Chain A
Amino acid sequence: MEKVLEVRNVTKYYGGGSVVAKALDGISLSVEKGEFTAVMGPSGSGKSTLLNVIATIDRVSAGEILLRGKRLTEMKEKELSVFRRDQLGFVFQEYNLLDTLTVGENIVLPLNLRRADYQESRKKLEQVSEALEVADQLDKFPGELSGGQRQRAACARAIITDPALVLADEPTGALDSRNSKKLMETFRSMNRAFGSTILMVTHDPVVGSYADRVLFLKDGKVWNELYRGDRSRQAVYREIMAVSAALGGEGAFMEGEEPLAAETAAPMPEGTSVCYGGPGMEGAPAAGEGRGLMGKDASMEGEVSKC
């Protein structure tokens, strides 16, 4: 499979002088084409910083990031803007739709910024708005939509340019559980129908359970990684909970986590295991290869435990 994103030994410091905080600590990971990856971790683990440096909104202190083989860390500001415009799609917690533009204008804005042909833009707008069920909202302003509708519009905007990578930062953060579920189904359909490669930061295990792969960050490093394989979402959810417990030392460490829904509250199935590990996940299976939980590799520091 083609590697869309490669993060190599990236370090990010904030502050200066005697007050320096290390947000990313030599992190490495890769995302393959068509993969739906969730990044989870406690507050201050570096997940938002990771997303920001991949989004080129922030600069790395060390290491390199490659997207489709291009080194983002070497690009200049102007190139980065073009890169963001052409290669990335964004979905944010606060929707980040422009309140002065109609929903349709918001969705088609990335194509306009590319100076795409008007007729093609219209065609593409129809296509994505139909797929994401916002076609009848195109002439409304964002303020006239519900949170879920706004976020679907934001998703439509994120994929309208067929970006190499869609970055989502806590996309369900401002939604209730029903809309969160609907949005995650939208993400899955984006992933399946449009083949979008998605990298999503979330603190919500339910939301993370929709992903093909879940990366756990702690102290600026990849601490653990889960693959969905053929298993059900409930199963993945339980694994996430287990890892979370191990990561934070409690059953549910994530801030703002919602109560378990009945469908996700089932006990973890037999054979589920959690991999405790530090950086270096090179041996991990690709999404959809059906290996279930990732195998233990040489770099892992802890042992595989049975929950």
Chain B
Amino acid sequence: MLRKLAIRNVRRQLGNYLIYFMTLALVTALLFAVNNIIYSDNLAVFVVDEEEAQMVLAMATVLISAVVAFVLSYAGSFMLRLRKQEFGMYLTLGMSRGDILKLFFLENSVICIAALGVGAAAGLFFFQGFTAVLMNLLEIEFTIAAYSPEGMLRTALLVAGVFFFASLASAFYLKRVSIYGLLHGAMKVERKVKHPYVWFVVMAVSLAMMAICGLAFFREVDAIMLEGHRMDKAMGLLLILGIFLLLFHMGLAKGLVSVLLRRPGLCSRGAGTFVLRQLSGTLSINSLMLGCLAFLLSFAVIGADTSFIAKTMLDDMLDQEAPYDILCHAEKSKNSGFLEEAEKVAGEYMEIRERLSYGIYRSGGHEFNEFTGWYQQYVEEGRGWADFQDVFMKLSDFNKIITPLGYEPVFLEGRFLIVGTALETSQLSWSDMIFEHKGKKYAFQDCRTDYPLLCYERFYVILLDEAVADMECHEEYAAYRTAGVKYDAAELWERLHGIVLRYRRDGGAYNCGFVLREYSKLEKDESAAVLVLGALFTAGVFLLLAMAILALKTLSAMGEDRRRYEILFRLGLGEEGRSRALFWQTFSFFLLPFAVPIAMGIPAAMVGQRIMELGNMEGSIDAMPVIAGSVAFVMAAVYLLYYMAAYLIAKRAVRVG
């Protein structure tokens, strides 16, 4: 009998369960897709470090499933609230609490099984979509990916776990609530917000603190990029920002509306007071929830922005860090054979079209290093000079290797040029420095940090060839341009690495090395893929959950709102007026935890621009607002979809006449 009633109830409550069901199905689809990617055989081909990628994504799914379970149990309470009179009636008619629990559990099982089915079906497509994104990020040609039984099983287990946890929370509520509470819960006397002005001040202070944290974070980015600060302070600032974000939303929910209500002259006209009162009750009760949602949404926005910014940065960094297809270097005195051997092995994998050789020279002095802070620091620590000998490159060598990369040739008229590979180099005041060598004086011309990595020193000095001619050639470099045919970069890397280890064993650490562009690209693409996929998955789930909570919360109150809107109808508020009031009531509620997070895209884009600017990736500066705008657009589109669904259902629920 209970089974029959449960199925009938689900059919009858289909409209109310729609958003709950949609959310569960979409989350299931996302979990299905990500789990299949984690356990897909294709992933082994995609990534260099399969285990690490698997672990990161697996942890993300478990963590997110825990958040889903928590949020859905919260959402379940709205479903209960929506139907509490019905459950109260069952109790009054003599059903036991156990029967009602079974009924609710059966109903939820029907929904869960249906959501699992629909979610898995949608997940089949989501998986192919995600794989396509992944392959695109890895620049691999798209092929239909195979499904993994392990991934499917893991999805079913996670969804079952989520469902079990959510049902447990509902069962707990049903076990405790009184019949009176179920039947007359709607008739509770509204409690006024205590100390609304205090909350208003909390809101204002939190907003100011958020702005201060944002500015401090912005400056900390500079310090990290220019002075090599650690990330601890920046992370701390983000944490403080998150706390004030929570407080701001709590203050906004509790303070603003209540303060407005105390100024009836401002907004009492039309249905203003009604809308504010509707909001006041909902917002003050749910202020913590709204703060948490704002936190989740901010996490989703910033996470998605950061992942795309990082992807852009990684793409740009490849050109910076590996400008040539292969770049090998070796200390001349110890490993001169390394370059030839490496070239021979590389030739087995690719057609080498051009070899550009250049050298790094030492004068034996350390005049340039004396200008640097790190030099002073090392001297104070009593460390040797050897690491801080000044390093030079011939102008002709420099022009030879930068012009094929699209840079203008450099002209020096009796001056020197400093090329920094560390950003802090550009922060030093070199302009007063005069370099004396062989009786000639060279003045400072420029300090550039925007050239790609062509020498593994913090900075090197470009001088006219004749000035360098008599210096000792310390290190030899060979840059190779190839035909650009695809090859097994991982295998070549392994072989070259083996050679490096052999030479280092014989000649000491760091005396030779190589950079393989294709392998660097693989590594960066993998990082970008895991980052973007993880961020998109997290952002998608958080957004869905937040929207579902807002929609369910709105709809669960509609039973009570219907009567209120009917009174407005009788008092002469026309359909247009009622629709407007409903719009403001629901839209304000939806907008409150969404507005600030979506606006977070602006500082995220600014930080991204600053990072690009400082990292000499000017070409990507303009991409930052586009990334932030695109993320905001997609999130706003999902938001609008949910809002429209909730609004239309609510409108139908309160329709009179």
Q: Which residues of A are at the interface with B, using a C-beta cutoff of 8 A? A: 55, 57, 77-78, 80-86, 88, 90, 92, 96-101, 105, 108-110, 112-113, 115, 118, 121, 141, 143-144, 157
Contact = CB atoms under 8 A, between A and B. Distances in A.
A223 to B, nearest CB: 28
Contacts of A115: 269-270
Interface stretch (B172-180, B353-361, B368-376, B567-575): B567-575
Contacts of B268: 105, 108, 112, 118, 121
A77 B277 contact: no
B260 to A, nearest CB: 13
Given A112-B269, A141-B190, A143-B188, A90 B277 contact: no
Contacts of A82: 572, 574
Contacts of B190: 99-100, 141, 143
A105 B273 contact: yes
30 contacts: A55-B570, A57-B569, A77-B574, A77-B575, A78-B574, A78-B576, A80-B574, A81-B572, A82-B574, A85-B572, A90-B571, A92-B570, A96-B570, A98-B274, A98-B564, A98-B567, A99-B190, A100-B274, A101-B273, A109-B273, A109-B274, A112-B272, A113-B271, A113-B571, A115-B269, A115-B270, A118-B269, A141-B189, A141-B190, A143-B190
B406 interface: no
Contacts of B573: 81, 85, 113
A100 B281 contact: yes
A109 B572 contact: no
Contacts of B278: 100
A55 B572 CA distance: 10
Interface in B165-191: 187-190
Given A99-B190, A143-B190, A110 B571 contact: yes
A83 B571 CA distance: 10
A157 to B, nearest CB: 8
B264 interface: yes
Given A78-B574, A78-B576, A100 B564 contact: yes
B621 to A, nearest CB: 50
A100 B576 CA distance: 21
Give the size category of B's interface with A.
Answer: 20 to 34
Given A78-B576, A112-B270, A113-B270, A100 B277 contact: yes
Q: 3 tightest A-B contacts by CB?
A: A85-B572, A81-B574, A143-B189
Nearest to B266: A118
Nearest to A57: B570
B271 A112 contact: yes
A98 B271 CA distance: 12
Nearest to A85: B572
Interface string B565-587: 00111111111110000000000
Nearest to A145: B189
A84 B264 contact: no
Contacts of B569: 57, 81
B384 interface: no
B382 interface: no
